[in-house]
Amino acid sequence: MKENKLTITYEEYAQLKADFEEKERKFEAQLWVDSTLNKFDGLLRENYAKSLQEFSAIVIQHIAELTNAFSGIIYTLDKDQELLQATSAYAVNIETIEKRAFRVGEGVVGQAAASAKTLVFDNIPAENVEVFFSSAKVNVANIRVIPLIFNEVVYGVLELIFITELSETQANLLEKMSRSIATMIESILNNDVNQKLLLDSQEQTDLLRAQEEELRQNLEEIAATQDLMNKQQRELELKEAEMFKKMKQVNREKEAIETREQKLKQTLEKYQQDLEKYKSKDQEIAQLQEELEKYKKVKSTKAKA
């Protein structure tokens, strides 16, 4: 029986070997990306509860060290002010950078947000961009400005400067990491909003409780005042009743006095009438005495004669 043998040339063998090695390289690169991304997602979850500034500082440091970036800045979008503001940086002092905020569409940072696409600048002329160490200066090899997008919404921009070329695997990793960062920023911002709403709700609840307590105290004071007024009203009514009773007594006494006065007046009038009668009789007696004296004188005169 005749055996079938596969015969290939050296060139074909070399091509097969190269294809296999390329597939193996891509597979290993994908494994590295997946493994690194999984660890990165764990790092994001561990720092989810931190503030946006603290979270951004941890993220930019991790990315810079992972990709050998010379420096980097994370900008987050403030939707209220419609500004991309520098939140945290690596190997850069945010306080000293010339421009810390960009409007969407303004500058490279704003353009990356507006286009929702990564902007890559390489083959940069040496005289255009240089970075400095303490003892030397080197040329920038690559600048990447990556929008942080989740569900087609831009939450920020990641700006990285490299002094060495970035590999395709690292570039692929950065794109995937940017989506993870955007997802977590969205969660942090929502959490901040919820915390603010909760705080506002608690403050409103505390305010309502304070108002309720104040109202309760006011009602208690009103009730106490009402009780006092009712007590004073009852006391006033008792005093009025007592005064009315005394007034009736006074009126009765007044009527009795008036009755006595009337009787005394009548008695006085009768007395005056009797007095007038007595005066009239006194006059009559005086006249009689006068006539008697005259009579006595006449009689005496006659007797002497």
Ordered DSSP codes for 31-44: HHHHHHHHHHHHHH
Give the residue-averaged pLDDT of 31-53: 92
Collapse the DSSP code of 166 into the 3-class scheme (helix H, G, I; strand E, B; otherwise coil) and give the result: coil
Summarize pLDDT for 67-119 with one digit per residue, the tens: 999 999 999 999 888 899 999 999 999 888 889 999 999 999 999 999 999 99
Exposed e or buried b per residue across 221-252, where buried means at least 16 C-beta atoms within 10 angstroms of its C-beta? eeeeeeeeeeeeeeeeeeeeeeeeeeeeeeee
What does DSSP assign to residue 95? G
Which three-class secondary structure state does DSSP give residue 157?
strand
pLDDT at 130 over 70: no
Single-letter amino acid code for the residue at 284:
E
For the cut 60, the answer to whether the pLDDT of residue 136 exceeds it is no
Alpha helices in the chain (DSSP H): 10-46, 52-67, 107-115, 168-304
- Tokens standing for residue 148: 């942080």
pLDDT at 125 (0 to 100): 64
pLDDT of residue 134: 47
Q: What are the extents of the domains in the chain?
A: 15-197
Q: By the 8 A CB rule, do 162 and 156 touch? A: no
Q: Is 280 helix (H, G, I), strand (E, B) or coil?
A: helix
Residue 159 has pLDDT above 90, yes or no: yes
Report the pLDDT averaged over residues 42-52: 91
10 Å Cβ neighbour count for 157?
Answer: 28
Mean pLDDT value across residues 50-70? 94
Q: What is the mean pLDDT of residues 146-163?
A: 95
CB-based contacts of 237: which residues, under 8 Å, 6+ apart? none
Among 30-39, 247-256, 275-284, the range scoring the smallest mean pLDDT is 275-284
The answer to whether 113 touches 104, Cβ cutoff 8 Å, is yes
**pLDDT number for residue 60:** 96
Q: What is the pLDDT of residue 179?
A: 95
How many other β-carbons are positioned within 10 Å of the β-carbon of residue 274?
10
CATH of 15-197 given 3.30.450.40, 2.60.40.2380, 3.50.50.60, 3.30.565.10: 3.30.450.40
pLDDT band at 156 (very low <50, low <70, confident <90, very high): very high
According to DSSP, the β-strands at 130-132 and 119-122 are unpaired
Residue-averaged pLDDT of the chain: 87
d(CA 111, CA 206) in angstroms, rounded, equals: 45
Residue 290 has pLDDT above 50, yes or no: yes
How far apart CA 146 and CA 255 sit, in angstroms, is 113
Pairing, β 153-162 against β 119-122: unpaired
Looking at residue 178, its pLDDT comes to 96
For the segment 3-14, what is each residue's pLDDT rounded down to a tens digit? 566 677 878 778
Please, which pLDDT band fits residue 36 given cuts at 50, 70 and 90?
A: very high
Determine the longest span between alpha carbons in the chain, in angstroms: 236
Predicted pLDDT of residue 112:
96
Predicted local confidence at residue 172, as pLDDT: 93
Query: What's the pLDDT score for residue 40?
Result: 93
In the chain, the amino acid numbered 172 is N
